[in-house]
Amino acid sequence: MLATRKTSGGTSRTADTVIEVVGLRKDYGKGTGVEGLDMHVVRGEIFGLLGPNGAGKTTTVECLQGLRKPSGGKVRVLGLDPDVGGDELRRRIGSQLQSAALPDRLRVGEALTLFARGGAKPDELGELAGRWELRELWRRPFGKLSGGQQQRLFIALALINRPEIVFFDELTTGLDPHARRKTWDLVRRVRDDGATVVLVTHFMEEAQTLCDRVAIVDKGRVVATGRPDELVDQGGGENRVTFTWPEADPGWLATLPGVRRVSMAEGVVELTGSGPFAVRVAAALAIRGIEPGDFRTYHPTLEDVFLTLTGRDLWN
């Protein structure tokens, strides 16, 4: 079974660790939201908390920001205990929470000005609005914004006072695929501009595409941490190829480099293997003059890793 472990590539605890959590516990009246959770975040990365709804992800980031008081464990964010130094900490972080919303009649410019009080200067506010394509929306009410426009506004509000760490909680929920991918580009820009990003998500593709490292959370605990590609490799999943070839020769297919298993059902061939075996299979078929129109490849994902670790998928 895959085990939680520190990863290579400079992600062990160092002076660049900006968030450290050891044994975090949060109890509620009828149960435990977080139980013995451990994690750390390194300066300058996009760190993802991946898991199903109710896994404890939002409770964790609320404890990190001092919005909830932990029942136990150690939490340090930028060297501060959020429960003690919450006021100072909130001046150094930015946040977009899962339940974020604004009054429908509040205009974009009014929202930016309101959140900038005591922080960004007028010229900085104009630069921020331009960077996130909000100048042309300055007088538009929040209720008239599209989902993607609302997300751009939330990101700008989270960044308005140049935070060192930014928390995004289910940032792309409710967006269509095109708007979701545009939002991913915006999150990368936040990281590239120098902020550390903590991204809470239950979208496997989002975590696998966007995050430098992820912590997979289930039932209030971190069950694995690492780079997405590392976790997929550790998960032991295999690549698969399927195509239709009623006259297939299973014996010959089994001799192709990288192929481990061959199965057939009603003319559909499924090959399981490792490495770039799919390319080799396709080349071997082409040499024989076989070019199936439904040649498909399947690769292990973080969802497969979650299934391996927990015995259930992300949606249950």
Go through the domains of the chain in sequence order and give each one's CATH number: 17-233 (3.40.50.300), 239-299 (3.30.70.980)
What pLDDT, on a 0 to 100 scale, did the predictor assign at position 9?
Answer: 41
Strand order in the sheet with 221-226: 93-96, 165-169, 196-201, 46-50, 213-218, 221-226
Q: CB count, 10 Å around CB of 237?
A: 17
pLDDT of residue 118: 59
pLDDT at 143: 93
pLDDT of res. 1 = 37
pLDDT value of position 7: 40
pTM of the model: 0.80
Per-residue pLDDT, 3: 40
**Contact present, 217 and 51 (Cβ < 8 Å):** yes
Instruction: Return the SS3 of 177.
Output: helix
Return averaged pLDDT per consecutive 10 residues of the chain, 316 residues in all: 40 77 88 86 96 89 93 95 90 80 91 77 80 91 90 88 91 86 90 94 90 93 91 79 94 93 94 88 94 92 84 66
Cβ partners under 8 Å of residue 194, min gap 6: 44
Show the DSSP H helices in 83-227 as ranges: 86-90, 108-115, 122-131, 147-159, 177-192, 204-210
pLDDT at 11: 52
